[in-house]
Amino acid sequence: MDASTPARRMYVYCDESSQTAARYMVLGALFVEEDARTKLEQAFRGIRGTQLANATMKWEKVSDKYFSEYEQSALLIAKRGRVGMLEYHAMTLDTTKFDHDTYNAGDDELGYYKFFFNLLKWRMIRHKGAVFYVTMDRRHNRKADRLEELKWYLNQHLVTYWSYEPVKSIVARSCKEVLLLQITDILTGAVAYHANKRDNKPDARRAKVKLAQALARGFGLPRLDVDMGSHTFYSVWHFRLEPPRRRTETG
């Protein structure tokens, strides 16, 4: 990147869904250009109105009571995506094929960040000339420097493609504090809902079924777990994992 050329700033918001209770875990990342970020936040605040002004909007909270606000948010996401104001990319992971013993020395937390590394790396590559400020939903890590490690590995990889290190920061924040993390939570939860076929269950919550359908229609898809391809503003990457290796008992 030419030092005389100002870099495009992109803000990335990351969240995950269905880590333990379902077959498919989903990682999601919302990419927003700097110029669009404030406009998006203002638009979402307008939708929330006074009743939800200080509330945290999350997929797990979707209900009939505030369905209109969630649906309007979903339609706004799709509309702004189509005009290039944002991108959303997800990765689905089959938890029955996790083999952290073989690949991560038994450390599932390390595996989690390796998966996020792959999702972010391949989506960031599409934005040469940008620098990235990443916000991840706060989680309790056993190792304190996980985010710095993730930043280092991303930069070490991307600098081989470009002439600069593009990831300027990766921080953890509470979803309550960051409006666009809440939007990422809703999107990621909806993708996981379809990936795990929760909408076909007898106990499926009607509001969640309707909201996932509204998002899919907005993106021009029959379901949210259908991949449109990585060149689009919305993509779902079904990450291929090999079955866990069989271990032989010794001794």
What's the CA gap between 227 and 51, in Å, rounded? 35
Neighbours of 212 (CB within 10 A): 26
Q: Which stretch of 49-53, 58-62, 122-126 has the lowest confidence by average pLDDT? A: 49-53
Architecture of domain 8-238: 2-Layer Sandwich (3.30)
Arithmetic mean of pLDDT, 40-49: 90
What's the CA gap between 49 and 52, in Å, rounded? 6
User: Distances from the Cα of 158 to the Cαs of 168, 182, 199, in angstroms?
Assistant: 12, 28, 38
- Give the residue extent of every domain in the chain: 8-238
What's the CA gap between 158 and 73, in Å, rounded? 33
- pTM for the model stands at 0.91
Counting Cα atoms < 13 Å in the Cβ hemisphere of 182 gives 21
Percent of the chain at pLDDT exceeding 90: 61
Counting Cα atoms < 13 Å in the Cβ hemisphere of 198 gives 28
pLDDT for residue 1 = 54
Is the pLDDT assigned to residue 248 strictly greater than 50? Answer: no
Could you tell me which residue, 35 or 21, shows the higher pLDDT?
35
